[in-house]
Amino acid sequence: MGWTKVSDANSLKNGDLVSFNYDDSNRKLLITRINGKLYATDGICTHAYAELSNGFLNEEDKTVTCPLHLSSFDLQSGVPRNAPAEIPLKTYQVKEEADGVYVLLE
Protein backbone atom coordinates (compact mmCIF):
# COMPACT_ATOMS: atom_id res chain seq x y z
CA MET A 1 0.00 0.00 0.00
CA GLY A 2 2.94 2.34 0.54
CA TRP A 3 2.78 5.69 2.25
CA THR A 4 -0.84 6.38 3.20
CA LYS A 5 -2.23 9.69 4.40
CA VAL A 6 -3.79 9.33 7.85
CA SER A 7 -4.33 12.93 8.90
CA ASP A 8 -4.50 16.40 7.43
CA ALA A 9 -1.71 18.81 8.12
CA ASN A 10 -1.84 20.47 11.52
CA SER A 11 -4.85 18.44 12.68
CA LEU A 12 -2.80 16.10 14.88
CA LYS A 13 -1.91 17.94 18.07
CA ASN A 14 0.45 16.92 20.85
CA GLY A 15 -1.34 14.47 23.13
CA ASP A 16 -3.96 13.37 20.57
CA LEU A 17 -4.82 9.67 20.22
CA VAL A 18 -6.29 9.25 16.75
CA SER A 19 -7.79 6.11 15.23
CA PHE A 20 -7.45 5.55 11.48
CA ASN A 21 -9.26 2.79 9.54
CA TYR A 22 -7.43 1.43 6.52
CA ASP A 23 -7.64 -1.21 3.84
CA ASP A 24 -11.48 -0.98 3.70
CA SER A 25 -11.55 -3.40 6.59
CA ASN A 26 -11.74 -3.27 10.33
CA ARG A 27 -7.99 -2.77 10.65
CA LYS A 28 -7.13 0.29 12.64
CA LEU A 29 -4.05 2.31 13.35
CA LEU A 30 -3.31 4.46 16.35
CA ILE A 31 -1.57 7.74 15.54
CA THR A 32 -0.16 9.91 18.29
CA ARG A 33 2.06 12.92 18.65
CA ILE A 34 4.21 13.63 21.71
CA ASN A 35 6.39 16.75 21.86
CA GLY A 36 6.13 17.03 18.08
CA LYS A 37 7.24 13.43 17.40
CA LEU A 38 4.78 11.13 15.65
CA TYR A 39 4.10 7.47 16.51
CA ALA A 40 2.00 4.90 14.65
CA THR A 41 1.02 1.45 15.92
CA ASP A 42 -1.82 -0.99 15.41
CA GLY A 43 -4.92 0.51 16.95
CA ILE A 44 -6.40 -2.61 18.56
CA CYS A 45 -4.98 -4.14 21.73
CA THR A 46 -3.19 -7.48 21.26
CA HIS A 47 -4.86 -8.99 24.33
CA ALA A 48 -8.56 -8.72 23.46
CA TYR A 49 -10.65 -6.30 21.43
CA ALA A 50 -10.22 -2.75 22.67
CA GLU A 51 -9.53 0.40 20.71
CA LEU A 52 -6.38 2.02 22.02
CA SER A 53 -7.58 5.43 20.84
CA ASN A 54 -10.01 5.17 23.79
CA GLY A 55 -7.10 4.49 26.14
CA PHE A 56 -4.75 6.72 28.06
CA LEU A 57 -1.62 8.38 26.76
CA ASN A 58 1.38 8.84 29.05
CA GLU A 59 3.45 11.50 27.31
CA GLU A 60 6.38 11.19 29.71
CA ASP A 61 6.72 7.41 29.37
CA LYS A 62 5.63 7.44 25.69
CA THR A 63 3.09 4.70 26.31
CA VAL A 64 -0.58 4.11 25.66
CA THR A 65 -2.64 2.18 28.19
CA CYS A 66 -5.46 -0.07 27.03
CA PRO A 67 -8.84 1.06 28.38
CA LEU A 68 -10.06 -2.51 28.98
CA HIS A 69 -7.48 -4.36 31.12
CA LEU A 70 -4.85 -1.63 31.44
CA SER A 71 -1.80 -3.10 29.70
CA SER A 72 0.56 -0.31 28.69
CA PHE A 73 2.40 -0.40 25.36
CA ASP A 74 5.61 1.37 24.42
CA LEU A 75 4.69 3.55 21.42
CA GLN A 76 8.15 3.27 19.84
CA SER A 77 8.59 -0.52 20.04
CA GLY A 78 5.00 -1.68 20.57
CA VAL A 79 6.15 -3.91 23.44
CA PRO A 80 3.71 -4.30 26.35
CA ARG A 81 5.11 -3.22 29.71
CA ASN A 82 2.68 -5.12 31.87
CA ALA A 83 0.20 -8.01 31.77
CA PRO A 84 -2.22 -9.21 30.63
CA ALA A 85 -1.05 -8.33 27.08
CA GLU A 86 2.05 -10.27 26.00
CA ILE A 87 2.19 -9.68 22.24
CA PRO A 88 3.71 -6.43 20.95
CA LEU A 89 1.71 -4.03 18.84
CA LYS A 90 2.96 -3.71 15.27
CA THR A 91 4.64 -0.35 14.75
CA TYR A 92 4.85 1.67 11.54
CA GLN A 93 7.07 4.31 10.02
CA VAL A 94 5.36 7.68 10.09
CA LYS A 95 6.30 11.00 8.51
CA GLU A 96 4.88 14.48 8.14
CA GLU A 97 4.66 16.31 4.83
CA ALA A 98 3.30 19.77 4.08
CA ASP A 99 -0.17 18.36 3.37
CA GLY A 100 -0.50 15.80 6.13
CA VAL A 101 0.74 12.84 8.14
CA TYR A 102 1.63 9.60 6.31
CA VAL A 103 2.16 6.03 7.56
CA LEU A 104 4.04 3.36 5.61
CA LEU A 105 1.64 0.41 5.19
CA GLU A 106 2.56 -2.95 3.66
- Can you tell me which of 30, 34, 38, 45 binds ligand FES, judged by CB under 6 A? 45
- The yes or no reply on residue 75 touching ligand FES (CB under 6 A) is no
Question: Can you give the three-state secondary structure of the chain, one letter per residue?
Answer: CEEEEEEECCCCCCCCEEEEEECCCCEEEEEEEECCEEEEEECECCCCCCEHHHCEEECCCCEEECCCCCCEEECCCCCECCCCCCCCCCEECEEEECCEEEEEEC
For residue 16, the minimal CB distance to ligand FES (Å) is 20
- Give the interface segment with ligand FES, choosing from 12-20, 28-36, 41-49, 86-94 (CB under 6 A): 41-49
Which residues sit at the interface with ligand FES, rule CB under 6 A? 45, 47-48, 50, 66, 68-69, 71, 84-85
